[in-house]
Structure 1
Amino acid sequence: MNETPKGSRLHVAIFGRRNAGKSSLINALTNQDIALVSDVPGTTTDPVYKAMEILPVGPVMIIDTAGIDDSGELGSMRVERTRQVLNKTDLAILVIDPAAGVAQPETELAAAIRERSISMVAVVSKADLHAPEPMAITPWEEKLGVPVLPVSSHTRQGIEDLKRRMIQAAPEHWEGQPVIGDLLRPGDTVVLVVPIDLAAPKGRLILPQVQTIRDVLDYDAYCVVTKERELRVALANLKQLPRIVVTDSQEFSKVAADTPPEVWLTSFSILMARHKGDLDTLAAGAKAIESLQPGDSVLIAEGCTHHQQADDIGKVKIPRWLRQAVGGDLDFHWTTGGDFPSDLSRYRLIVHCGACMLNRREMLYRLSIAREKGVPIVNYGVLIAFVHGILPRALKPFPSAGMAFET
Structure 2
Amino acid sequence: MPAPGGPAGPLGPAGRASTPAATRATTPAAAPHPRVTAGVSVWLDGLSRQRLASGRLAALARQGRIAGVVSDPAFLARSLAGGSCYTGQLGDLAERGVPAERALKALAVHDIRWACDILRPVHEATAGVDGLVCVTLDPRLAHDAAATLAEARALWRAVDRRNAVLGIPATAAGLTALSACLAEGINASATLVLSAARHRQAWDAYTEGLERARAAGRHLASLASVASFPVSRIDTAADALLDREGTLEARAMRGAVAVAAARHVHEQYERMLGESRWHALAARGARPQRLLWTATTVPEPGASGLLPTRYAAPLLTRGTVTAVTEGTLEELDGLNGPDGLNGPDGLGGLGGLKARELPELPGVQEAAGEAPDGPGPGTYAAARRLLGHLQWFGIDHGELASRLETEALKELNDAWHQLLDRVTLALDQGPAAGDGTA
TM normalised by structure 2 equals 0.28
Task: Compare CA radii of gyration and give the structure with the larger one.
Answer: 1
Highest RCO, 1 vs 2 (Cα 8 Å, sep ≥ 6):
2
